[in-house]
């Protein structure tokens, strides 16, 4: 089966032109804005998967974080068809982008949860 993090993080990086990964980089403050996409459960079937993913956007300002998180949401909800490593069937927003706490108060974080239905390519 395909790894949804390995499918969506490169897609997000290519789509938005910002670092995207399943982990935040050690030099997060120097790389802002950053997109983090992690799998957080979900169902797997024989020929398809339906993982729940958590998408966090980190930025230097609240407005930048809000704008990028909304743009990521819009792009994910429109994402259908082939991407490298998978074919996306559907994306559902389970919890829209909202402000999330972060240890460093100089970094603004917006988080959202989605369910992605896909099959490996």
**Residues 24-39: tens digit of each pLDDT:** 999 999 999 999 999 9
For the chain, the helix, strand and coil percentages under 3-state DSSP, each to the nearest 5: 30, 45, 25
Interval 63-73: pLDDT, tens = 999 999 999 99
Q: What are the distances in angstroms from CA 17 to CA 22, 33, 64, 99, 114?
A: 16, 10, 14, 22, 21
Task: Give the pLDDT of residue 1.
Answer: 60
Tell me the average pLDDT of the chain: 95
- 4-120 topology per CATH: STM4215-like (3.30.2000)
Spatial separation of the C-alpha atoms in residues 107 and 79, rounded to whole Å: 28
- Residues of the chain scoring pLDDT < 70: 1
Domains of the chain by residue range = 4-120
pTM for the whole structure: 0.94
């Amino acid at each position: 089966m395909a790894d949804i993090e390995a499918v969506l993080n490169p897609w997000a990086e290519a789509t938005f032109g910002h670092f995207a990964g399943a982990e935040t980089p050690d030099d997060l403050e120097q790389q802002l804005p950053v997109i983090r996409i992690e799998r957080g459960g979900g169902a797997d079937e024989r020929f398809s998967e339906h993982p729940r993913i958590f998408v966090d956007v980190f930025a230097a300002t609240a407005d930048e974080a809000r704008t990028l998180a909304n743009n990521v949401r819009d792009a994910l909800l429109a994402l259908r068809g082939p991407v490298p490593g998978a074919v996306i069937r559907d994306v559902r927003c389970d919890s829209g982008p909202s402000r999330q706490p972060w240890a460093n108060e100089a970094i603004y974080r917006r988080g959202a949860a989605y369910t992605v239905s896909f099959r490996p390519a």
